[in-house]
């Protein structure tokens, strides 16, 4: 039942975090271990995945004019102008395997109240939330053309969502075919 929701509030991204396979500090939090939970909690708050949640280690810009400054948005440079905090430059890690977190929060999710008693969570009942996520990708001939293609794909995906997918091209009509059935096959 895709429809516009009046009064919806879009939450901004409040931090960006990453971890890198094989790095001794900015690495995968251990799975199946309570300390890993603490590392994930810090990542979700925009900190390095250490296990100290009371004194978390902040990310810093490791390249560019803001090098050394604390940030909730590391690696936010511009690869087109080759400026700012870029992967593989300054004191940043060499390009390689990265896992990325785009975080929003903290926020409260109120308890759902079934105002109309139908047992279904409906807008505008208290506690009904809608979370929309798009997973997109793009590939160009170079890393910068890949970013260009990704930005274009993002704009198209956002436009399609904003108009409730009304402008998605319709598929072509199915072809008219004649069939001849045989014992173990069909000829089209």
Q: Output the CA–CA distances (angstroms, integers) from residue 56 to 13, 39, 103, 170, in the order listed.
A: 19, 9, 16, 51
Give the N- to C-terminal CA distance of the chain in Å, as an integer: 38
How many whole angstroms separate alpha carbon 138 and alpha carbon 146?
6
How many whole angstroms separate alpha carbon 19 and alpha carbon 31?
14
Task: Give pLDDT tens digits for 31-66.
Answer: 999 999 999 999 999 999 999 999 999 999 999 999
The reported pLDDT for the residue numbered 45 is: 96
The reported pLDDT for the residue numbered 101 is: 95
Report the phi/psi class of residue 178: left, alpha or beta, with left for phi > 0 and alpha for psi in -120 to 50: beta
Beta-bridged to residue 186, according to DSSP, are: 181
**What band does 25 get if pLDDT is binned at 50, 70 and 90?**
confident
Percent of the chain with pLDDT over 70: 100
Task: Give pLDDT tens digits for 123-159.
Answer: 888 988 888 889 999 999 998 899 999 999 999 999 9
Task: Give pLDDT tens digits for 109-123.
Answer: 889 999 999 999 988
Site of tokens 């690696």: 75
């Amino acid at each position: 039942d895709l429809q516009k929701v009046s009064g919806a509030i879009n939450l901004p991204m409040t931090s960006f975090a990453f971890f890198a396979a094989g790095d001794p500090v900015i690495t995968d939090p251990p799975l199946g271990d309570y300390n890993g939970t603490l590392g994930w909690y810090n990542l979700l708050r925009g900190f390095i995945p250490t296990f100290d949640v009371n004194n978390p280690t902040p990310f810093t810009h490791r390249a560019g004019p803001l090098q050394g400054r604390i940030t909730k948005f590391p690696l936010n440079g511009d690869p087109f102008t080759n400026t700012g905090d870029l992967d593989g430059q300054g004191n940043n890690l060499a390009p390689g395997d990265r896992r990325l977190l785009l975080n929003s929060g903290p926020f409260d999710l109120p308890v759902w109240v079934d105002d109309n008693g139908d047992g279904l969570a409906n807008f505008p009942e208290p506690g009904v939330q809608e979370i929309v996520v798009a997973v997109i990708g793009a590939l160009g001939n170079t890393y910068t053309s890949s970013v260009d293609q990704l930005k274009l794909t993002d704009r198209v995906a956002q436009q399609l969502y904003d108009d409730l997918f009304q402008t998605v091209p319709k598929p072509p009509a199915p072809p008219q075919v004649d069939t001849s059935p045989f014992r173990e096959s069909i000829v089209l």
